[in-house]
A and B are shown apart, each in its own frame.
Chain A
């Protein structure tokens, strides 16, 4: 009987220990003005494994980390995010004993934190961009220009259009126009957007929505055409608006761009529109051999555009050579192919889906 009593007591004690002591003291400490959180917890008696889950959608989807190192200094994880708006994230810690075979639900704690927006990040990502625009006299009396049609995709869309001029680092004093579209479907049309700024030459246009517009940072839909006007008609190319967030090299989209140097009936120009300070490598390959690389380091809100020879800084470019853009930062690579007789341009920008709501982005 005594043996039974002891066995019963051990079983009872063991069970109670698993239940009663299994309290997870999960802590969340904010640093860097709410842009970093340290998630930490006290050791749970009996636990040898922890699973930390992170969810942006109330645990509909989660990212998991398994922590088996029991050293107290390892019972923490640091999360750094750049957010453009307040972003709520939940963390759930579950302690396990004996691998994954221990009490589960009682041994769980959850913390919700709010990442604060980063003003610099907001300024970079909360806008739409037309990477290349131009207005200039062409050959033989032609006129090269860029038409932009802005169409409201919801009521009360207002903001600024800002022209970034080629070769000049962007500043807060860059030419600016305001736009205001009262009702969904309203249209604002610029036959020559660069001339509307009182400017000529090449550049890039930011579409920056007002923060108060309809409670969300949305931008109008832009239809853009770059074209030459001649007495015999027009010829040119279309262009899509895009958004800076998807051009960060920290975002896992495939935005690579490479181009083959054409024969001399066409001319190749290369360009880069940067949104933040970036390092861009223009590599030249001949067959499978690298023959040149040039490093560009534009500051934010700059546009560089010029002949392939100038941008690659390689004088021996030959038809068939392949030029590749790589680098780090946030930038759009692009190139144009232009017929040397007709001056008809074709513009290439790696395609990424268009966001018209540019309010909420988060980057790890």
Chain B
């Protein structure tokens, strides 16, 4: 009888160990599918906890360790995300050191229309069409070539120094098949505009279609002066806003340039995609000479002589650092003062032709 009771007691303990592990995992939407709270109950026999987050479309799993705290009855951790598409994340909580002690729940993250509008496009940071020095004409040629069977969308021109509006000039593009081409000798004039600006390439349905991949065409861009003696200019690559979003771990929206001697002139600018803060630092001989921070609204291009941009006098040899906090691409041009030949520099970022699925994970 004694043995029977002892065995029964052991068995009961074992069963009780299982039953005691009730994490009571809850995943609660804290607002519009952007922010979720993962909460679970304390398990007294656990040595700690692990939250594993598996994000749809990714092969890596994020792990978060939580120490056991006897004063806590319920643990909470929030997860926040900005996403251009609806997607799921699986949260699994494990009570460490306890058998059978894990539970999992899904969170359904919703696309953020504002974030999607800002990110799902390709951008040509600087374009222009204007009369140049000595009777020359400065313009920007654009060749779009399809990157899949059929592509259509809109090119939108945002003039320099002016906040973007829905009334900005635009033009439609349509590419009917593989390698189909549409080209403009002077894209700014083609939109009925002049001066400097920036162009968005917005594929059709990018704001409503979330399940099929959105691609943009290849863009071959050349900014150049036309003179009686020929042309001279520079090439430019398209890019995409996500490559310059500060919360994208692969982004680097930083730029550094040395103030040239007087045979060249330096212009510096920023094209923003979202409201951003711009940090400008000038160093001379390795020591900080001046700093400036200013705000820019989203979808704005500012482009001006270096001295105006940094807000102080700069001398040849000074090094200028620009960093965008928010989402925006810094850029500069070096132009020969005699020939007016420009060279454009944009921090290199890998070009995405598929611009549909981006997300910022906190």
Q: Mark A217-253, 1 if CB is under 8 A from B, else 0.
A: 0000101010000101111111010100000000001
Residue of A nearest to B46 (CB): A105
B99:A234 contact, CB within 8 angstroms: no
**Considering only CB atoms and an 8 Å cut-off, how many residues of chain B contact the other chain?**
77
A339:B99 contact, CB within 8 angstroms: no
Chain B residues closer than 8 Å to A232, beta-carbon distance:
338-339
B348:A236 contact, CB within 8 angstroms: no
Chain B residues closer than 8 Å to A62, beta-carbon distance:
60-61, 63
**Shortest CB distance A148–B (Å):** 12
Residue of A nearest to B283 (CB): A185
Chain B residues closer than 8 Å to A225, beta-carbon distance:
334, 343
Which of A70-78, A81-89, A258-266 contacts its partner? A258-266
A183:B336 contact, CB within 8 angstroms: no
Q: A18-B99, A151-B258, A235-B232 are in contact. Are A61 and B348 (CB under 8 A)?
A: no
Q: Mark A315-327, 1 if CB is under 8 A from B, else 0.
A: 0000010100000
Q: How far is the CA of A339 from the CA of B256 in the complex (A)?
A: 29
User: Number of A-B pairs whose CB atoms are under 8 Å?
Assistant: 196
CB within 8 Å of A: which B318-335 residues:
319, 334
B62:A104 contact, CB within 8 angstroms: no
**Shortest CB distance B296–A (Å):** 22
Residue from B9, B181, B283, B287 within 8 A of A320 (CB atoms): B181
Which of A5-13, A30-38, A116-124, A301-309 contacts its partner? A5-13
Which of A163-171, A204-212, A346-354 contacts its partner? A346-354
Chain B residues closer than 8 Å to A130, beta-carbon distance:
none
Residue from B63, B222, B343, B344 within 8 A of A337 (CB atoms): B222
**Shortest CB distance B334–A (Å):** 7
Q: How far is the CA of A261 from the CA of B132 in the complex (A)?
A: 27
Q: How far is the CA of A339 from the CA of B233 in the complex (A)?
A: 9
Q: How far is the CA of A85 from the CA of B201 in the complex (A)?
A: 42
Q: Does B286 contact A (CB under 8 A)?
A: yes
Q: Does B275 contact A (CB under 8 A)?
A: no
Residues of chain A at the chain B interface (Cβ within 8 Å): 1-2, 4-5, 7-12, 14-16, 18-19, 53, 59-64, 101-106, 149, 151, 183-187, 221, 223, 225, 230, 232-238, 240, 242, 253-255, 258-260, 265-266, 285, 287-288, 320, 322, 337, 339-342, 344, 346-354
Q: List 22 A-B contacts (CB under 8 A).
A: A2-B4, A8-B10, A11-B14, A18-B99, A19-B99, A59-B63, A62-B60, A64-B61, A151-B258, A151-B319, A183-B286, A185-B286, A235-B232, A240-B348, A254-B350, A260-B220, A287-B178, A339-B232, A341-B231, A346-B233, A346-B235, A351-B349
